[in-house]
A = this chain, B = another copy of it.
Amino acid sequence: MFVLGVDPGLSRCGYCILDTTRNPAVAIALGVMTTPTDLDVARRLAMIQADVEGLFEDYRIGALALERVLFGVNVRTAMSVGQASGLIMAAAARRDIPVVEYSPNQVKQAVTGHGAADKEQVGEMVTRLLGLRTRPRPADAADAAAVALCHAAHSDVLVAPR
């Protein structure tokens, strides 16, 4: 199954499509969708929507995994993360693709083995688990991979370091 992990944001939206039928799981797509900050919000959201629809059309995605962020962000950030994530969640639901949200702690726990890991450790473990030569940059791509790996772990798909 292909799992789409997303780290939603208006300026940068990290995504990772994980092939969980292979062991260890393989990232068949990994990157960041960006929108120009000088464009108005509505147009930027339409761009993200088009990019996301493209991912759903290009890959047979079986599940969408996102990180549920409710702490440590301000209202402005929450609003803009919400705007981006809403589009992505609706795109999945319209296709009857299950949407699963994980807490930041669940994601860290699944990837590093402890819920209080920092961004560095998450990035390092994502790199190892996916057998990448270099750490995914920007961090949004690594975070998207982490939540996809978290979903794989919670779905009893074996993910072992290479």
Contacts and interface: CB of A to CB of B under 8 A. Distances in A.
A87 interface: yes
Interface string A57-97: 00000001000011101111011111111110110111000
A41 interface: yes
A158 to B, nearest CB: 27
Contact of A80 (B46, B73, B82, B84): B82
A118 interface: no
A42 B99 contact: yes
A151 B46 CA distance: 22
A49 interface: yes
Chain A binding surface, main DSSP class: helix
A147 B31 CA distance: 38
A45 interface: yes
Contacts of A84: 86
Contacts of A48: 90
A33 to B, nearest CB: 13
Contact of A49 (B40, B78, B90): B90
A19 to B, nearest CB: 22
A43 interface: yes
